[in-house]
Structure 1
Amino acid sequence: MKKLIPILIIFSFIIIKPQDRNAVSQITKESLIKTVSILSSKEYDGRLPGSEGYDKAAKFVSNKFLEMKLKPFGDAGYFQFLNVEYNRIDTPVVFEAIIDSETIIYKYGKDFVLRGFSGANSFTLPVAFCGYGISRPDLGYDDYQNVNVKNKIVIVFKQNPKWKIDDKDWGTAYPREKSLVAKQKGAKGILFVSLPNDEKPQPLIGSVMHGEGEQPTVFPQIHISIESANKLLSKVGLTLSECQTKIDEKKKPFSFLTRTKAKVIATTYYQKEAKTMNVVALLEGNDPILKNEYVVIGAHLDHVGSQAGLLFPGANDNASGSAGVLEIAKAFVADKVKPKRSIIFVSFASEEQGLNGSKHFVENLKVPEEKIVAMLNLDCIGYGDSIQVGNGKSSPKLWQIAKDFDEKNFKLMVSDTWSGGGADATPFHEKGIPSLYFVSKYSYDHLHLPTDTVETLNPDLFEKIVRLAFLTSKQIADGNYEREDVR
């Protein structure tokens, strides 16, 4: 009989109990979609931290926490403040190719976008092609060695080579790193272009992932289409694909002056330190001992903003996860049986710039680190066809709770997982806190594009992922999981 007891306990966990059905029913696709519609609307302007739009989104979340009568758990009320770099992109924004006497006017959003941390300037200058934009004399490779780029605009591949020299890393490939190299060589601006020989070249995305170093405030950084780059190479009779092939086959630079010019106007306003905030609330547990242990349920609230009127709505990334956190909070509040452990709900700022909000949260905990039993992260959960729960290889017992619930109730969770955290779960994982990362499978068709709108979402899948995250977190909060050692 003793051998049967653990099996019975497990089955009691994975089947939705009658007393839990009311709480689960609070999570509805209609409510989720409504919240995403609000957060991804023009009023919130893409939710770039440091902007008025992001502040409005943070206020929206804090008001929802207040309506639920959750305890404020920030520095001032629900807000936990931090500083981030901020760059506003305004009009005018211009990119034109000048080939002999012909001027080709490119369309913003279709043929080019600015990088989120572009500098501001206005000029018409000759263009040079400089391969991968890498200067590594220590590796015997320098795309700038045999071309004079002083007072010119350079075209470089946005990514680094897939091959290596002496198995050494090239660097980060972040746009700021490549921009600072080009600037140091005398260039006045940079045109990034995706690798044409990739099976699926990267589209023109909005991005504020810029890398370390000082902001080059008068150095425009533009991401142009492959077709636009080919126009600029047309005078030398080469295509971008041919240039990449030549460099990759010989593993040697192939840089040259294009004999064309480009007109660039970039209008930006940069702040080195702009105030922004995480939004944090607490639901206290009802067990006299376990209430001093915590479950963190979080999602990043930010996206990449807008550029000169071009909106990146961020419906799936990550208004979906933010809506999920609010629905889970609502379900816990509606539950007649309060959790034994306390739950911290948090909307993180500045994930898109490099997990700044979640790092700040972990580095400034208001509770003992060892008392956080688990962290659940929701990111891009509204688009796709199935459920993926990441970090299962690092927190396998935690992952199994989600897997068991899915098998008995939804049958949508794929077996693929990974280790090492992922997105805003990463800072928690690095502190040894067991974490899960809820995401929909095939979630990224509209990633960082103007087309990431609420109309593209899969409401049925969205609802099931959030319900799965709630049921998983409820088991943890009810004391049916002991913190495991992170692998």
Structure 2
Amino acid sequence: MKKIFFVFGFLIFANSLFSQDAKLINKNALMKTVTLLSSTEFGGRLAGSEGFDKAAKYMASEYAKLKLKPAGDEGGFFQYFHTEYNDIVGPCKLNLMNGWEISNEYLIGKHFSVRGFSGSGDVKANVVFCGYGISQPENDYDDYQNVDVKGKIVMIFKQLPSWKLKEKDWNSSLRYRSEIAYNHGAAAVLFVSKPNDKNPQKPIGSVMDGEGKQIETLPQLQIDISVANDILAKNNIKLKYLQTKIDSTKKPSSIATATIANVEVKAKYEKEKKTENIIAILEGSDPILTNEYIVVSAHLDHIGTHANEVMYPGANDDASGSAAVLELARAFCSQKEKPKRSIIFMLYACEETGLLGAKFFAEHPVVPLQNINSQINMDCIAFGDSIQIGNGKSVPELWKMVEDIDASNDKLSVKDTWNGGGADGTPLHEKGIPMAYFVTKDSYGHLHLP
């Protein structure tokens, strides 16, 4: 909780309204909001879902109680736009087979997860390991060159190689690599983390698949490394060995396994689904400076619920930031002396699908862009042992201000920073608007887990 208080302290100080006062911030109210937003009532808050819309209405009602000015469409708090939407309705399963009998049965949310833009299907076929799932003959690299994957289940690394060929980046999203597999005849795709990486990723819920064609008949899962090794067991080989061989030679090492798997996913895809950013304004008290704006933002969306049994609550990512935005609004509204500049309290949709809500706002601002003088973005601020202030190399003056404030308080920030924006702050940063991005260090240990 101290980490969130540090964020509050900075914002309060930066606006020169009042000294840091713990009474302004109600930690019980903060936790109540985080707990509520991450509850089953909102179903994981996938943008476009009934649960997200319910969460958006709740936050808008809290804005209304504070008598904040609605800054969305048609005099309301919502700024509407459309997004791709894929509801993983289930059933979803992954089994290894011995003839018609199940030899290994795996649990969704533990041994595997469903990719956010998975297609539907029920596939029983041999598994073929295809390395990184890259097919670039022009660069003398093709994981599909010496294997037949027609009608098969393809297993590939989720992450791209850490090395390059001909000094070229791979630039190959998960969605694009799924399309490559499909174009080679694959009936399903299993993504798995690279076992030789420092902290191999567990199967997570995610809708960050990148741009590309939606293949509605191609089931796609992320599996645990242990499951991949079960698949390779009949070939007497381990995933670590295959990664080592590929990375050391920079050549494909694809193999057809002797294992038959059964993959089933049922999903409902919509090309365009209506969703919304939630926007409110506290107008500044100075007759001139009121036309200048500071954006205080977080994202409200998360991953949703899969197969009606695995919910991704998103307490840290980013119910924590959303709760902080609301509590800051309450703190500022409770003061007799209002800030001289206006504050936009922003809750974005579709961060998880690629900052789409933030990008939409940057292209369709509710106030002139030239009147927005800074943005404070908060994402994953509840878990971890210290605070990072991102984008500090792009805005060193703002970063130093944060460091100075922290030095005289709880000393929670670390020196690590970067340039080029960060999370939902990036689109406005790319428009030339200074931004500080608050995130706890090592906050991703439980990222996108049920």
TM bucket normalised to smaller: over 0.9
Distance in structure 2 (CA, Å) of the matches to 1:106 and 1:353: 27
Write the mapping of 1:111-190 to structure 2, written as runs, cut at 5 A: 111-172=111-172, 174-190=173-189
The match for 2:230 is 231
The match for 1:405 is 405
Distance in structure 2 (CA, Å) of the matches to 1:19 and 1:422: 27
Distance in structure 2 (CA, Å) of the matches to 1:149 and 1:372: 52
The match for 1:326 is 326
Q: Residues 265-318 of structure 1, C-alpha deviation per residue, up to 9 Å, x if partnerless?
A: 101001110000000001111111111111111100001111112011000000
What secondary structure is seen at the aligned counterpart in 2 of 1:306? strand
TM-score of the superposition, structure 1-length normalised?
0.87
Q: 1:411 to 1:178 in 2, by over 3 A?
A: same
Distance in structure 2 (CA, Å) of the matches to 1:448 and 1:16: 32
The match for 1:54 is 52
What secondary structure is seen at the aligned counterpart in 2 of 1:37? helix
Distance in structure 2 (CA, Å) of the matches to 1:404 and 1:365: 32
Deviation at 1:345, TM superposition (A): 0.6
User: Is contact 1:15–1:408 with CA below 8 Å preserved after alignment?
Assistant: no
Distance in structure 1 (CA, Å) of the matches to 2:213 and 2:15: 55
Identity of aligned residues (%): 53
User: Is contact 1:14–1:408 with CA below 8 Å preserved after alignment?
Assistant: no
What secondary structure is seen at the aligned counterpart in 1 of 2:36? helix
What secondary structure is seen at the aligned counterpart in 1 of 2:280? strand
Q: 1:15 to 1:158 in 2, by over 3 A?
A: closer
Q: 1:68 to 1:155 in 2, by over 3 A?
A: same
Tell me the amino acid that sits aligned with residue 67 of structure 1: K
Tell me the amino acid that sits aligned with residue 441 of structure 1: K
Deviation at 1:46, TM superposition (A): 0.5
Deviation at 1:401, TM superposition (A): 2.1
Distance in structure 1 (CA, Å) of the matches to 2:50 and 2:359: 23
Q: Residues 441-481 of structure 1, C-alpha deviation per residue, up to 9 Å, x if partnerless?
A: 2211111111xxxxxxxxxxxxxxxxxxxxxxxxxxxxxxx
| 1:268 is aligned to 2:264 | no
Distance in structure 1 (CA, Å) of the matches to 2:436 and 2:332: 19
Deviation at 1:123, TM superposition (A): 2.0
Q: Residues 245-272 of structure 1, C-alpha deviation per residue, up to 9 Å, x if partnerless?
A: 1111111111121022111110100111
Distance in structure 2 (CA, Å) of the matches to 1:317 and 1:110: 19
User: Is contact 2:17–2:339 with CA below 8 Å preserved after alignment?
Assistant: no
The match for 1:461 is none
Tell me the amino acid that sits aligned with residue 290 of structure 2: K
RMSD of aligned residue pairs (Cα, Å): 1.8
Distance in structure 2 (CA, Å) of the matches to 1:245 and 1:441: 30
Matched pairs, number: 437
Q: Residues 396-422 of structure 1, C-alpha deviation per residue, up to 9 Å, x if partnerless?
A: 122222222222222211122111110
Deviation at 1:366, TM superposition (A): 2.2
The match for 1:358 is 358
Q: 1:23 to 1:341 in 2, by over 3 A?
A: farther
The match for 1:436 is 436
Q: 1:335 to 1:198 in 2, by over 3 A?
A: same
Higher mean alpha-carbon deviation, 138-147 vs 386-395, is at 386-395
Distance in structure 1 (CA, Å) of the matches to 2:328 and 2:439: 15
Distance in structure 1 (CA, Å) of the matches to 2:81 and 2:50: 15
Q: Please, which of 65, 68, 79 is the counterpart of residue 67 of structure 1?
A: 65
User: Is contact 1:23–1:335 with CA below 8 Å preserved after alignment?
Assistant: no
Distance in structure 1 (CA, Å) of the matches to 2:148 and 2:354: 34
The match for 1:464 is none
The match for 1:421 is 421
Write the mapping of 1:81-92 to structure 2, written as runs, cut at 5 A: 81-92=80-91
The match for 1:445 is 445
Deviation at 1:25, TM superposition (A): 2.3
Q: 1:19 to 1:135 in 2, by over 3 A?
A: closer
Write the mapping of 1:196-275 to structure 2, written as runs, cut at 5 A: 196-275=195-274
The match for 2:35 is 37
What secondary structure is seen at the aligned counterpart in 2 of 1:128? strand
Tell me the amino acid that sits aligned with residue 267 of structure 2: T
Distance in structure 2 (CA, Å) of the matches to 1:22 and 1:131: 54
Distance in structure 1 (CA, Å) of the matches to 2:407 and 2:335: 23
Tell me the amino acid that sits aligned with residue 444 of structure 1: Y
Tell me the amino acid that sits aligned with residue 230 of structure 2: K
Q: Residues 309-332 of structure 1, C-alpha deviation per residue, up to 9 Å, x if partnerless?
A: 201100000000000000111111
User: Is contact 2:375–2:435 with CA below 8 Å preserved after alignment?
Assistant: yes
Q: Which runs of 5 or more structure 2 residues have no equivalent in the other structure?
A: 1-10
What secondary structure is seen at the aligned counterpart in 2 of 1:92? coil
What secondary structure is seen at the aligned counterpart in 1 of 2:94? strand
Distance in structure 2 (CA, Å) of the matches to 1:241 and 1:137: 25
What secondary structure is seen at the aligned counterpart in 2 of 1:91? coil
Distance in structure 2 (CA, Å) of the matches to 1:200 and 1:421: 25
TM-score of the superposition, structure 2-length normalised?
0.94
User: Is contact 2:176–2:213 with CA below 8 Å preserved after alignment?
Assistant: no
Deviation at 1:235, TM superposition (A): 1.7
Distance in structure 1 (CA, Å) of the matches to 2:442 and 2:128: 37
Deviation at 1:393, TM superposition (A): 1.1
The match for 1:289 is 288
User: Is contact 2:348–2:357 with CA below 8 Å preserved after alignment?
Assistant: yes
Tell me the amino acid that sits aligned with residue 74 of structure 1: G
Distance in structure 2 (CA, Å) of the matches to 1:438 and 1:334: 24
Distance in structure 2 (CA, Å) of the matches to 1:59 and 1:278: 11
The match for 1:382 is 382
What secondary structure is seen at the aligned counterpart in 2 of 1:253? coil
Q: Residues 429-451 of structure 1, C-alpha deviation per residue, up to 9 Å, x if partnerless?
A: 1000000001112211111111x
Deviation at 1:26, TM superposition (A): 2.0
The match for 2:6 is none
Deviation at 1:31, TM superposition (A): 1.1
User: Is contact 1:391–1:436 with CA below 8 Å preserved after alignment?
Assistant: yes
Structure 1 stretches of at least 4 aligned residues deviating more than 3 Å after TM superposition: 13-19, 21-24, 99-102
User: Is contact 2:15–2:339 with CA below 8 Å preserved after alignment?
Assistant: no
Tell me the amino acid that sits aligned with residue 216 of structure 1: I
